[in-house]
Amino acid sequence: MQTKPTLVFVPGAWHLPQCFDLVRPIFEAHGFPTEAVANPSIGAEPPTKTGADDAANLRTVLSRLIEDEGKSVVLIARSYGGTVASNASEGLGSVQRAKQGKNGGISLLIYLAAFVLPEGQSLVDGLGGKPSPWMRSNGDYTYSSNEENVFYADMEPEQQQKAISQLSHTSINAFLTPIAHEPFKHMRTGYLFCEQDQALQMPLQETFCSLLETGSKEASLPAPVRASLPSSHSPFFSMPERTVESIEGMIGEI
């Protein structure tokens, strides 16, 4: 029987790996091994970590799974995590590795309401050159605000407060780190839209997905896999079963 890929989750800014704790057991019950990777820029003291530190940390995990263990990986990146996944995945696509006679690799990179940016751009560039109004900075510390509406609008108040209590600051330099790699020109990608998202609204998500479509076409790769959820920015909290169903459906298309 064919072994299912390992799912590697990358959280967005301010969020810790436990934000995926509702979906991971469901995936594992379905036979998918899972890992969730912390971003060092989140909660760092002093707040000097950059997006490069986050990418290097993720790269260590991916290298262990792929280069050391020869595993197939589906990389699932949420929000800011899209920039981390892009920079960490260079040379690790399963198609690239197969051409080199190597086993394993990233068979699908899913951007979950996540930033997809061209080489040289940072997250702030992707927002039009300035942070969103709900992003508050104090020196090198960056905090979120209005999370009930921006991140968790489709959750009950008690759920919202629990999720908010788990947030931490993010180093400002994480948002200023440029993209150094465009994985959508080298591996299969997909975009999971969050239709009611107030952090990354649908027009911006469509812009990001169009970059996947253009890049894959230029590289003669299959078109990106698309799926959509009627959720706010955090469907792994508000609708974990449907999130699992959507991601498994995307995996089934490759």
Flag whether pLDDT at 2 surpasses 70. Answer: no
Fold classification of 6-252 is: Rossmann fold (3.40.50)
Give the pLDDT of residue 22: 98
Position 1 pLDDT exceeds 60:
no
Long-range contacts of 123-126 (CB under 8 A, 24+ apart): 123/51, 123/80, 123/83, 123/174, 123/175, 123/176, 123/177, 124/175, 124/176, 125/178, 126/204, 126/208
> Residue 55 — left, alpha, or beta (φ > 0 → left; ψ -120 to 50 → alpha)?
alpha
Summarised one tens digit per residue, pLDDT across range 121-142 is 999 999 999 999 999 999 999 9
Q: Considering all CA atoms of the chain, what is the largest pairwise distance in Å, rounded to the nearest integer? A: 53
pLDDT digits (tens, 9 = 90+) for 172-182: 999 999 999 99
Q: What tens digit of pLDDT does each residue of 63-95 get?
A: 999 999 999 999 999 999 999 999 999 999 999
Q: Under DSSP, is residue 76 helix (H, G, I), strand (E, B) or coil?
A: strand
Domain ranges of the chain: 6-252
Give dist(CA 130, CA 88) in Å, integer.
24
What would the pLDDT profile of 36-71 be if each residue is shown by its tens digit? 999 999 999 999 999 999 999 999 999 999 999 999
Average pLDDT score over residue span 192-196: 99
